[in-house]
Amino acid sequence: MLTKRIIPCLDIKDGRTVKGVNFVDLRDAGDPVELATQYALEQADELVFLDISATEQKRKTLADLVLRVAAAIDIPFTVGGGISSIADVEVLLKNGADKVSINSAAVKNPDLINELALQFGSQCVVVAIDAKQIENQWKVHLVGGKVPTELDLFEWAKEVESRGAGEILFTSMNHDGTKQGFANHALAQLSETINIPIIASGGAGNVSHFIDTFKEGKADAALAASVFHFGEISIPELKNELKQQQIAVRIETL
């Protein structure tokens, strides 16, 4: 049985880790290198690093920070934010990223998914989808949730898979930062729609939310930020609780 993954997320703005609610009202959450080091020691399965205000002008800063984080950890590391070309990906992989996450660029230029999968392998390509439920329809949003589109979450996920993405990171904008639980109905529908792994994001508030997203949402991994950053949930305790619920997780004896 494949183990379920626990993935802390570092949302980066101007070199610092930040966290908000429903994609707004950001507050400082600490130094990204220190947090990454802590999560690797706590046996997080992977780390996701998203430059939420990335621009081409900040590419060098992002690459330098990726290098510092990669040097501090020994777990798989996904980087996203402002990636729009093979050249962008080459820089990040050279600096220590294992995978890249693309979002707005994939919607604007879907062929980019094919190009990256062909160049670097599907296992390297994560497509992040930020979606909001509006009148019972899940609509994809771009640019950190600021720009709505007419794209349907499930149709877009199918296209993403067909183009060679290895994984989908689905964030429910309705649930983000609310600590009321993940969007398990949408996640379960996604798992029936596509065959590639799905990372659940948005809404983690307590241990039971992780249990529910693995059991009800059929998620392959669960991503969270503030509950880890501010010490509300410890990853070792979370994994022990998941194991007691007969959910397969990786626990290394030290």
Query: E strands along 70-177, which residues?
Result: 77-80, 99-102, 125-134, 137-142, 147-152, 167-172
Tell me how far apart the alpha carbons of residues 196 and 176 are, in angstroms, rounded to a whole number.
23
Tell me how far apart the alpha carbons of residues 117 and 150 are, in angstroms, rounded to a whole number.
25
Beta-bridge partner residues of 59: none
Beta-bridge partner residues of 142: 147
Three-state DSSP class for residue 177 = coil
Burial environment of residue 36 by CB neighbours within 10 A (0 to 12, 13 to 18, 19 or more): buried
212 is catalytic: no
Q: Are 97 and 28 within 8 A, CB to CB?
A: no
130 is catalytic: yes
Which residue in 51, 88, 130, 212 is the catalytic one?
Answer: 130
Which residues lie closer than 8 Å to 158 by C-beta, 6 or more apart? 193, 194
Which residue in 11, 45, 176, 212 is the catalytic one?
Answer: 11
- Enzyme catalytic residues: 11, 130
